[in-house]
Amino acid sequence: MSDSASILKPKPVDSRCSQTGRQALLTGCPWHDVNEMLQAAGVRPTRQRMALGWLLFGKGARHLTAEMLYEEATLAKVPVSLATVYNTLNQLTDARLLRQVSVDGTKTYFDTNVSAHHHFYLEHNHELVDIPDPHLVLKKIPDLPEGYEISRIDMVVRLRKKT
């Protein structure tokens, strides 16, 4: 954790910060981009949201539970409670900056990749991994109740190691 103390400091001299636009999000200057994306989504960029957003979005596509993010925040010395982490994750989900993926009904992962995609769930280490093929489709979709349409299909393919 050698550099954990500096994690909250913006790095304006970072050469990546010269890039602009949402396309540059994952490789751009995280502090600048998080601020921009919060504001664009109508979420006020408070200190805590900025810090949590930095942890969430500054490292590429990720799948995190509230507990995992809370642990990262604690390691990065971000003064935040688990309840605030939950609230922030839900706010970011409402603002469509995150996508919720539920596994088991007990574990909720927050996905920084909000595009349509499905997941492998690695049972042995509780890890969620993107299925790279976006064209994965169900062969037969069940009849829908009258008056309803499909909002989204979340597929989680559970994997265990061969014995």
Q: Give, as ranges, the residues between 19 and 48 that touch Zn ion (CB under 5 A).
A: none
Spatial separation of the C-alpha atoms in residues 14 and 161, rounded to whole Å: 41
Dihedral sign for Cα atoms in the order 9, 62, 49, 20:
positive
d(CA 129, CA 104): 15
Two structure tokens written together for 9: 């400091």
CB of residue 130 to Zn ion, shortest distance in Å = 4
Binding flags for Zn ion, 111-130, as an x/- string (CB under 5 A):
x-x----------------x
Smallest gap from residue 138 Cβ to Zn ion (A): 18
**Structural contact between residues 65 and 107, judged by C-beta atoms closer than 8 angstroms:** yes
Residue with smaller CB distance to Zn ion, 15 or 115:
115
Give the count of residues interacting with Zn ion (CB under 5 A): 3
Positions touching Zn ion (CB under 5 A) are 111, 113, 130
